[in-house]
Amino acid sequence: MPSTDSQVDLRLARSLVAGAGRIVAMTGAGISTESGIPDFRGPNGLWTKNPAAERMSNLHAYVTSRQVREQSWQARLSHPGWHAEPNPAHRALVDLEHAGRLHAILTQNIDRLHQKAGSDPERVLELHGTMFDTECLSCADRRDMREALARVRAGEADPSCALCGGILKSATISFGQPLDPDVLNRAQNAVRAGDLMLVVGSSLTVQPAAGLVGLAASNGVTVVVCNGSETPYDRFAAAVLRGPLGAVLPALVSARGDDLG
Ligand code: NAD
């Protein structure tokens, strides 16, 4: 039987991955949808279904509207990330790391599922922060998120900083908020030190994170994109894989050759 296009793409991507010695993964919300955490822009994305929800991720809206903050705390309380478990795509990246070939994961995710799957926390760079901590927007006091959520459950609809009374927010990067320059710098260095960038589950529409793919391409780093839908950076990729990540990633990094169909 002749091979289908997707089998040809998978073979090409596998040979590129198999030949790489310093892989850097760049992950987005799409890697966690099969763990039950919806993405923003995929077919079942939070913003695809409810465009108004975008306001909760906007720093200006958060700072200026108490209503947005109250909605954000309620959404945080019921976030599926508290109980989510890693899926085979997260575990495939752990396998690649254990094989000594993955030196960094640059993640846009805030759900800590890479660390929960067993990726070395030192190698995971959280470009957009984490939902597991809070940070005061005035004095930068940082604490465990559980403290703020306990206050919300106890009736404070919009808890303020316990130290200075400033506006409290999850330690995630909202639109309009700069990335931590140290984290971004380390991510750029990791890209330059790599020989292959594996993009996993990102629409690559959020800057400056998406620009790391452009940086890879301009530094001669081979780019492989695994994403369910088209991205603006597909044209830089040596191979593009479209299937569901929980199946695609294990097939891509597997040492065996009998799962190629
Ligand atoms: P995005 O929503 O813009 O894009 C996700 C992409 O993943 C889409 O193109 C979609 O087609 C693809 N996808 C979804 N499920 C897939 C699957 N099972 N198999 C293959 N492809 C799949 O997400 P983004 O590019 O990461 O940017 C959104 C921003 O939202 C990021 O900054 C991130 O911080 C934040 N976010 C994080 C989480 C999380 O931590 N899990 C969840 C939602 C949003």
Model confidence at 52, in pLDDT bands (50, 70, 90)? Answer: confident
What CA–CA distance (Å, rounded) separates 167 from 147? 15
What CA–CA distance (Å, rounded) separates 33 from 125? 20
Query: Are 141 and 120 in contact, with CB atoms under 8 Å apart?
Result: no
Whether residue 104 is found in the same domain as residue 209 = yes
The parent domain of residue 59 ranges over 40-83+131-172
174 lines ligand 1 (CB under 6 A): no
| Residue that terminates a domain, selected from 108, 141, 172 | 172
Q: Quick one: pLDDT at residue 259? A: 47
The CATH number of the domain holding residue 195 is 3.40.50.1220
Model confidence at 48, in pLDDT bands (50, 70, 90)? Answer: confident
The CATH number of the domain holding residue 136 is 3.30.1600.10
Whether residue 222 is found in the same domain as residue 247 = yes
How many structural domains is the chain composed of? 2
What CA–CA distance (Å, rounded) separates 23 from 114? 16
Looking at ligand 1, which atom is closest to the CA of residue 201?
7
Whether residue 245 is found in the same domain as residue 158 = no
Whether residue 138 is found in the same domain as residue 219 = no
CB atoms within 10 A of CB 86: 22
Q: What is the pLDDT of residues 211-245, one digit of tens each?
A: 999 999 999 999 999 999 999 999 999 999 999 99
Whether residue 150 is found in the same domain as residue 167 = yes
Whether residue 151 is found in the same domain as residue 188 = no
Looking at ligand 1, which atom is closest to the CA of residue 128?
34
227 lines ligand 1 (CB under 6 A): yes
Looking at ligand 1, which atom is closest to the CA of residue 246?
18
* Best mutation site among 34, 35, 39, 204 for ligand 1 pocket (most ligand atoms within 8 Å of CB): 39
Q: Which pairing describes strands 168-172 and 222-226: parallel, antiparallel, or unpaired?
A: unpaired
Whether residue 137 is found in the same domain as residue 239 = no
CA of 128 to the centre of ligand 1 (A): 12
Residue type, 18: A
Ligand 1: which residue has its CA nearest to atom 20?
228
Q: What is the pLDDT of residues 72-89, one digit of tens each?
A: 999 999 999 999 999 999
What CA–CA distance (Å, rounded) separates 242 from 228? 5
Averaged pLDDT, 122-141 = 98
Whether residue 90 is found in the same domain as residue 208 = yes
Indicate if 103 belongs to the active site.
Answer: no
Whether residue 53 is found in the same domain as residue 124 = no
Whether residue 190 is found in the same domain as residue 240 = yes
Whether residue 63 is found in the same domain as residue 139 = yes
Q: Is the pLDDT of residue 2 over 60?
A: no
Q: Quick one: pLDDT at residue 260? A: 44
Ligand 1: which residue has its CA nearest to atom 10?
42
Averaged pLDDT, 184-196 = 98
Of the candidates 90, 103, 114, 128, the residue annotated as catalytic is 128
Whether residue 233 is found in the same domain as residue 148 = no
